[in-house]
Structures are given as structure tokens and as C-alpha cells.
Chain A
Amino acid sequence: MSRHGAPVLEIRNLGKTYGAGAKATRAIDEVSFSVADRELVCVVGPSGCGKTTLLKCVGGLLRPSSGEVLLRGKRVTAPPEEMGFVFQEYGRSLMPWLSVRKNVLLPLRHKSLGRSQRKALVEEALEAVGLTGFIDHYPWQLSGGMQQRVAIARALAYQPSILLMDEPFASVDAQTRGDLEDLVLRVREEFAVTIVFVTHDIDESVYLSDRVVVLTHAPTEVKEIIGVDLPFPRDQIRTKELPEFTHLRGRVYRLIKREQEDETEADEPVLEAVREGG
């Protein structure tokens, strides 16, 4: 990881409890890890382990019950302007009454930018995700994969230095998913962004990452952080054929599987943790 410098993002002893008193549930017990500049870190873990909760705490959308998130040494208490969020449910995070152009424009409206500057940012972001021809469509007129591209373009136009992505490709088909993964790798280079990417897909996490953070089941802790030294640029076929890829994938898989088994013994409901055949 020689290409990465000092940490931009530090998650320190972060914990989250829902409810209070006897009904309180500890969703996240204690999670700590840091993310270096322009690094891509994937967070994986068994289903229901609070990955989304964790990411919302990092993005300032939820307040942690304990611990803190530091962005360049400053504590995050509200959504910071240099973070862009891409939600899992693209169909529900795009405004159905706005065209693609206006959806991407939405977060720019209150930034102090000139009109032509805004227009340029929107068009540049849509070009980066290959949607120039659909700028005046409504999002619901597009396929699922294209809608998620709109959401990515909206995040990019916001010019964040950090992108938080919450299982963004969970509900698109395998082919589209591969294309979108490559898109993420490409925009990271093009826009020089740091990315925290939550996923339940082990292949995806290894394919995209510089490092994979594996979480335990709830109450969540960090199980292990695994460095991924696969060469760049990555390729859906060649990278995945490397023995190193298979090895890493197996390692992450085993960690999560063990977590699941522990949870079964603890007599708690087990939900699907890995994609079929994943």
C-alpha cells in the first residue's frame, strides 16, 4: 500500500446501541479501523451485522453511541461536505419527480458554484458513468444498473474526497454488477477518491479492495483486516483467475462462515451471509 499516505478517516472504538434500558440492543460493540488517502476499503460481514449502521455512523447520518469517527483528525457529527453517499436502494434514493440531470444537480444547488460550473460538473459526472444520452430521462425510465450509475454520478458531481457506498450493487444482475465494479475502480483513479465500500459479496470485496475489513456478527467487532495485494488494473477474468485471488477469497469466506456457525450455536437467527455460490 505504498500508494497511500496518512489516514484520512479513522473509526475509533465505534459502538452503537439501539433503544434504551431493558430493550436496548447492542448493534455494534466496538469497531476500529482507519482508511488511508485514496484507499479502497471493503467492509464485509455476516448479514445483520450492522454494516449499514456502521456506514451511516461514518457518514454522519447516525450518531454513534460510543467512540468516534475522525475525518482528517476532526470529529464527524453531521454529514461532512467532502463525503458522498451511495445508497443500496437506488430506486428509493433517486427523486422520481426529477430528471437524471436534476437528480445529479440536487446536491450542488446549495454549493457556491456558478451556473455553468454546475452544468459542467453534472455533465462530466454523467459522462464518467456513461449516461450522457439519458440526461433528460426520469430515473425510473432506466434499468436498475443505470439508476445506480445515476446515484454514483450524483455522488461524483458533489466532488467528494470520500465515497461511502452501501451495498450499491446488491440488487443488480451479475453482468451489470461486474461492469459497475469496474466503473468504481475507474472513477477512483479518475476522481482520486477514497472509498469505503460495504458489501455482503466476498468476491466483490476482494476484487475491489486494497484492504478488506471482516466484521463479526452483532454485537459487531472487527474480526480481521486483510490486505489485498492483487495487481492493478484489475480485470474481471484475469484477476479472478489468479491463485492469490482464490486464496484471499477463501480466507474471507472462512472467517465469515465461522462467524455464521458461532451465531447458530448461540441460537440466534442466521440470515443468508454470502451470495449463492459466492
Chain B
Amino acid sequence: MTGRRLYHASAIAAEIAVPIAILAAWQVWTTRANDPMFPRLSTILTEFREMWLFSQVELHLVPSLTRIVLGFLIALVVGVLLGIPLGLSRRGRMLAMPHIEWWRAMPPPALIPISIVLLHSIGNRQKVAFIAFVCLFPILLNTIDGVRGIDPTLIDTARSYGVGRLERIRSIVVPAALPQIFAGMRTSLPLAVIMMVLTEYFSSTSGVGYVLLISKNTFQLVPMWATILLIGLLGYLLNLLLLLIERRVLRWHRGWREVAVQ
């Protein structure tokens, strides 16, 4: 027990210590170099606090976060709703898989010009749609796989006890596929952050990506670095939040897997 606790403590210490060491190295190096292209860490942090803890939060951080969350949730709902019937039906998969593979293979930035040409801009709705589109595939494919992989004995068990088709999906199929669905969500979330930056970078009047673009174009290097720092932190914290939710929802799965491995 104590050995295990010690191991956890050292793992957490390492996770914190390494970034701190890197930041410290950055500070030492930038102080020595004194190059305006690479501002000091302390300067960046002061700017970061000013921008992203206060003045720009409502104007730029909130819209970006809203887009990420909305796009991600749409992808989750659509992915699961499409993935369940496709996972259950072989014929459905045969019909749908070529289309899924086609759209999945399409690099999302390649679609941005379409939106710009057809709609002359990428508004808020298009941004959310792009994020949802890109997040959809990992969730959809993982849901299909998870549903396909359900042990037929579980389904037979439910059938033999007269559990109806819809109730079977709700109480057997979804929970059984949930570990895989979460795996898809974990793949999708970083993609949501990427698409947020990308779409705001192309055309926007608000958002973190927009701030990044403007600071770059106007050579405001300190705000640019502060924004890069924010984007990294945003991705990290969103992922952490998802992991915490997963750990709570799938508590049974960790224990079950440990037993299955033995």
C-alpha cells in the first residue's frame, strides 16, 4: 500500500517537476539572450495574467470555449446516435462505411475554402460545425466498434428476460459500449481544440485563435506567447476534465479490467 502511494506521489511530482524545469530553463535562457522574439517567462506570465485571467476572458476565451464544447457535444450525440444502429446492423455498416471512410480521410482544412467561397465567411455556426465534423469520426468509429464487440451472451440474456429492443439498447448496448465511446471522446477532444484555433485563425472577429492571428500580424510578441501558453493549457485542462468524468462514469471498468487481466 505504502509502496503504491509512494509511486503515485512520485508520478505526480514528476508530472509537475518536468514542466517547471522547462519553464525555469526558458526563463534563464531568455534572460540571457535578451531577444525580443523570445520574451522572458516572467513577462509572458504577467501578460498572461492580464489578458487571460481578466481583460480578454469574456471577449475571446468564452466564445472559443463555447465553440469547443458545442462542437464536441454535437459530435458526441451524433456519433453515438449513428454508431449504435451501425454497430448493430451489418448491412448498415456495408452501406455506410465507404462514406464514413471518405469523409474521415478528408483533411478538414481542405473544407474551409468551400465554406468561405459558398458563404463568404465562416461564422460562428460554421466554426461549431467544423469542430463537430472533425470530432465526429473518432466517436462514431469507436461507438460502432464498441457496439459490435458486445458479447452476444449479454444480448441473449436480456432477450431471454423479455427486455425489449429499445430498453436493451439503453440498458445493455450503451453501457457495454461506453468504454469504447470514451476512448473515442479522448481522441476527439484535442481535435476540437485544433479546429477551434484553425477556424478562428481563418476568419473571425473573436476567439483565442483570432487573438493569436492579430498578435502575430501586429508583432505583439508577448501577447502571442501568452496566447500560445493559454491554448496549451486549455487542451490540457479539458483533457483532464474528461479523464475525471471517465474515471467516475467507468469506475466499474477499471476494476473489471484488472480482474480480467489476472
Contact = CB atoms under 8 A, between A and B. Distances in A.
B256 interface: yes
A107 B162 contact: yes
Contacts of B156: 56, 61, 85, 87, 93
Contact of A138 (B153, B158, B178, B255): B255
A81 interface: yes
Contact of A87 (B153, B172, B253): B153
A110 B171 CA distance: 12
Contacts of B159: 61, 79
Interface string A125-155: 0000000000000101100000000000010
A61 B160 CA distance: 7
The B interface is mostly helix, strand or loop, or mixed, namely: helix
With a 10 A CB-CB cut-off, give which of B157, B164, B175, B255 has the most chain A CB atoms: B157
B163 interface: yes
B154 A93 contact: yes
Interface string B164-182: 1001000110011010000
B84 to A, nearest CB: 17
Contacts, number: 68
Interface in A54-80: 56, 59-61, 79
B208 to A, nearest CB: 38
Nearest to B156: A61
A162 B109 CA distance: 62
A232 interface: no
A183 interface: no
Contacts of B154: 92-93, 95
Contact of A79 (B161, B178, B252, B256): B161
Contact of B253 (A61, A97, A107): A97
A69 B163 CA distance: 21
B163 A106 contact: yes
A85 B256 CA distance: 24
Given A85-B157, A87-B156, A93-B154, A140 B162 contact: no
Given A97-B253, A138-B252, A140-B259, A92 B153 contact: yes
- The list of the 7 closest CB pairs from A to B, nearest first, reads A107-B161, A85-B160, A92-B153, A93-B157, A96-B256, A97-B252, A79-B160
Given A79-B159, A110-B164, 8 more contacts: A79-B160, A87-B153, A93-B156, A95-B154, A96-B253, A110-B162, A110-B167, A140-B255
